[in-house]
């Protein structure tokens, strides 16, 4: 069935280091969304990418959507403690109106 | 708007008991989703509704689980009888109609523990 693979599962970084998570879909997506879930919280929508090759920025966060609309990445520059949490990608296909969720990447800041 | 409201926030029950989780979506949202989240299986879609009608319940684990949406402002997820393996966080989410309809807004979740 349709899947969205997300790696890595965990990433430990020192505060100030960069962080990147990657998503790959087995099929072409209509769009891809990114959500953040803080520890003990609920997923919160960050951004949606629709166009092939699209790049969007939110302050220190950069989101990319691949040319084939099958992969995406989220890059955080100079991580801060407020960035801690799990980042999920979710691919959307209009044909079955479902978000297919990646497993998430947990960002951990080393003390 | 108050956002998606779920109740209770925490539920502890004994195996075999009936559990009912409640959700009030954001006013004007016509899609409603129920998810389950565990460490082992991640975030799983259980069922979703459009205009109060169940569209896809293929994620409902078994007949012990049922969901209803009697009107646009209320939905329930029921587990009867509950089992320890049902312990998880259950999220409800809703989404807008129109172009932004696939962006989902989550409630705070219900943390269920079945002893």
Nearest CA in chain A to B32: A98
At residue B115 the predicted structure's pLDDT band, cuts being 50, 70 and 90, is very high
Q: Answer whether B91 sits within 8 Å of A88, measured CB to CB.
A: no
Nearest to B106 among A42, A98, A104 (CB): A42
In the predicted structure, residue A56 carries a pLDDT above the cut 70 = yes
The full length of chain B comes to: 115
Which of these ranges, A95-99, B6-10, B41-45, B87-91, has the smallest mean pLDDT?
A95-99
* pLDDT score recorded for residue B100: 54
Residue A62 confidence (pLDDT): 98
- For every residue of B16-83, DSSP letters joined together read T--EEEEEEPPTT--EEEEEEEETTTEEEEEEEEETTEEEE-TT--STTEEEEEEETTEEEEEESS--
Interface with A, mutate which of B43, B93, B97 (most A CBs under 10 A) = B43
Distance from CA of B43 to the nearest CA of A (A): 7
Q: Bridge-partner residues for A64, per DSSP? A: A55, A73
Q: What angle do CA B73, B104, A75 make, to 5 degrees?
A: 160
Query: Average pLDDT for residues A62-74, to the nearest whole number?
Result: 97
> B89 has which bridge partners?
B37, B111
Question: Any chain B CB within 8 A of the CB of A45?
Answer: yes
> Above 80 in pLDDT, residue B101?
no
Sheet of B5-7, strands arranged across: B5-7, B19-24, B74-79, B65-71
pLDDT value for B1: 65
pLDDT at B15 over 80: yes
Using the beta-carbon criterion (under 8 Å), do A104 and B55 form an inter-chain contact?
no
**Touching check for A105 and chain B: CB below 8 Å?**
no
pLDDT category at A21 given cuts 50, 70, 90 is very high
Among B50, B56, B103, beta carbon nearest to A48: B103
pLDDT at B43 over 70: yes
Q: Which chain B residues are within 8 Å of A40, Cβ to Cβ? A: none
- The yes-or-no verdict on residue A28 having pLDDT over 80 is yes
With H, G, I as helix, E, B as strand and everything else as coil, classify residue A111: coil
């Amino acid at each position: 069935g349709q899947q969205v693979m997300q790696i890595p599962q965990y990433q430990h970084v020192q505060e100030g280091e960069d962080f990147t998570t990657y998503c790959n879909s087995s099929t072409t997506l209509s769009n891809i969304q990114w959500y953040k879930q803080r520890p003990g919280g609920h997923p919160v929508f960050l951004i949606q990418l629709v166009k092939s090759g699209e790049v969007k920025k939110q302050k220190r966060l950069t989101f990319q959507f691949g040319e084939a609309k099958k992969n995406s990445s989220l890059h955080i520059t100079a991580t801060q403690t407020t960035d801690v949490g799990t980042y999920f990608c979710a691919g959307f296909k209009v044909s079955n109106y479902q978000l297919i969720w990646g497993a998430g990447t947990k960002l951990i800041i080393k003390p | 708007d108050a956002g998606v409201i779920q109740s209770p926030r925490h539920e502890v029950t004994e195996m075999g008991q009936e559990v009912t989780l409640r959700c009030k979506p954001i006013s004007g949202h016509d899609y409603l989703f129920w998810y389950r989240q565990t460490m082992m299986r991640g975030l799983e879609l259980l069922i979703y509704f459009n205009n109060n009608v169940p569209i896809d319940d293929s994620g409902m684990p078994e007949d012990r689980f049922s969901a209803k949406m009697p009107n646009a402002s209320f939905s329930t997820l029921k587990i009867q009888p509950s089992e320890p393996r049902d312990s998880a966080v259950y999220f409800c989410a809703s989404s807008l109609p129109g172009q932004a309809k696939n962006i989902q807004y989550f409630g705070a979740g219900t943390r269920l523990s079945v002893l």
